[in-house]
Amino acid sequence: MNTTPSGTMDRPITGATRVFPIIGHPVSGVFSPPAFNDFFLRNRIDAVMIGLDITPAALPAFWDLLRGSANMVGCSITYPHKQAAFEAVDSMTGRARRLGALNTVRREETGKLVGDATDGMAMVRAMEARGVQIAGRTAHVSGAGGGAGLAIVDALAEAGIAALSLTEIALDRLSAVRALVADHWPEVEVLASPQPCEILVNATTLGKSPADPMPFEESDLSKAQAFCDVITLDQDTAFLARGRILGASLVSGNDMGAHQLQAQLSHVGLVTA
């Protein structure tokens, strides 16, 4: 039997229930299943998300299981399988191909697998929902070369950002994100050095702990009009709290997560776009 968030028994899980697992190694700390299952319950969708701890060595066997299981609609993918999934699917969206990694796979009726990468799209949709204008503006992305950062840079470029300031501690990843923009979005200016911008996006892990430093310099904070964060907490990160004091528009990791849920479920066909 399934349970509601309060722990009371609700609708049964049957042989007809569609299964949408999240795979990773480990998966004990992932936060997706409660949010997805609450969404399924509230919207009367006969589906369930479970965490599957799949070792890298067992990953080929999982793809075979997914291809052969008609009630599995696909899967969500977390560390360390996003790059491996890129090689396993039969086709993928253009953004997934640009990024070289996947976070969502849809199973077709034929058993073929179709991949997508929705992190960047989720952040952009969250920004738009909060009234943040992207087209024609400037954005500074901290942690631009990481998985989330790279996807957000790509999505901002697709949404019409005029110029990007990119910071990343790993020089090879900084080169990769600059190459992504140059190769696919040549109309977007990549600033030669970090500069104050209208939109700030924290795509680093800074902010999970109260002791963490700010992901941006003070001069960046004082001049920005929108503060966007990938960190998911029950309250404002220090970065967002500062933006609130300054009267900026705020986009939290929770906002991004809500749109991530919609994007992933749309890709696998459990909701309409």
**Which position among 82, 112, 208, 223 bears the catalytic label?**
82
* 3-state helix, strand and coil shares in percent for the chain, rounded to the nearest 5: 40, 20, 45
Question: Mapping DSSP to helix (H, G, I), strand (E, B) and coil, where does residue 200 land?
Answer: strand
Contacts for 181-189: CB closer than 8 Å, 24+ residues apart:
181/153, 181/157, 184/98, 184/154, 184/157, 185/154, 185/157, 185/158, 188/157, 188/161, 188/162, 188/163, 188/164, 189/162, 189/163, 189/164
CA 39/CA 21 separation, integer angstroms: 15
Tell me the one-letter amino acid at 93.
Answer: T
**Active site annotation includes 223:** no
Answer whether the bond into residue 196 is a cis peptide, omega within 30°.
no
215 CB-side CA count, 13 A: 31
CA 144/CA 147 separation, integer angstroms: 8
Q: Which residues are catalytic?
A: 82
